[in-house]
Structure 1
């Protein structure tokens, strides 16, 4: 006996709900693995962590790039309020200090995901393009806080951008092995030393 319209609709809605649930579990599993230190989780590992079949992973994400795209959106949602919060102080130096403190929070949130993306970006047009966009945005966010006279000093600008870069944060945290608190203190010390030499 054929199902009626109501029963068929319920069946379709159930499939959609299961699909949404699987999608969320796959994304959460990938993010948990990366945050846990597995920077190159395989699709099979993601499927195991999510408690779904391997075919389910590929049914929701045609390739791993689409999974990274989804993760990038979630991470961006986490950090965007910090990035876009207004700067209230009329003194540009105070605002650069504020930016330095914000960068510590933002970069620490991003750290495992950017490390994972860095491993894959040479094989991924999406991740390579995203990397270029993020580096440009990070630089622009520094430049917009600087007065015109300061922006005209190329070496000062480049030194500030380097001190406030993700690569600097990664080096302090990973290569030097500093805690989040100490790394934030070192980054602020570097910025203070630089802006202390700037007249304007």
Structure 2
């Protein structure tokens, strides 16, 4: 049940460093790594599963150390999400925003490259959404969970609020960029 205070101290030191490293790696790796999970749910799920397996299978890790590690992971998750909801710059720092990949029937090649998405993948998402003609598509958005949302509309009309939180830099015209 308890090996030593040194072991607990080691977990208190190693767990925050490992958690920060894992979150940083996931954040740097981008949205495609996360497919259908947000980064923090994925971190907690994987880390808790790994910690539990280590506690259960490794005689060198005491139960108290494993429980402490799991409590720390859950606490970090709570603190980060609590801060993200209340402090705008924390939310901006830890969460990516959706990215526009296709706008008014035109592929945004810079956005596709930066998000590591191919035109074929976008076309696949269009087919999955029942789209047979690019002229029916107002936008394709790569969401923060790695999924693609397809917005259809006639004459490229859509409520601007639908795209209000989407990175639209790539969709601006040359004239708009010159005025920045």
Q: TM-score under structure 2 normalisation?
A: 0.33
Greater fraction strand = 2
Q: TM-score, normalised by structure 1?
A: 0.31
Q: Which fold has the larger relative contact order, with Cα–Cα distance below 8 Å and residues 6 or more apart in sequence? A: 2
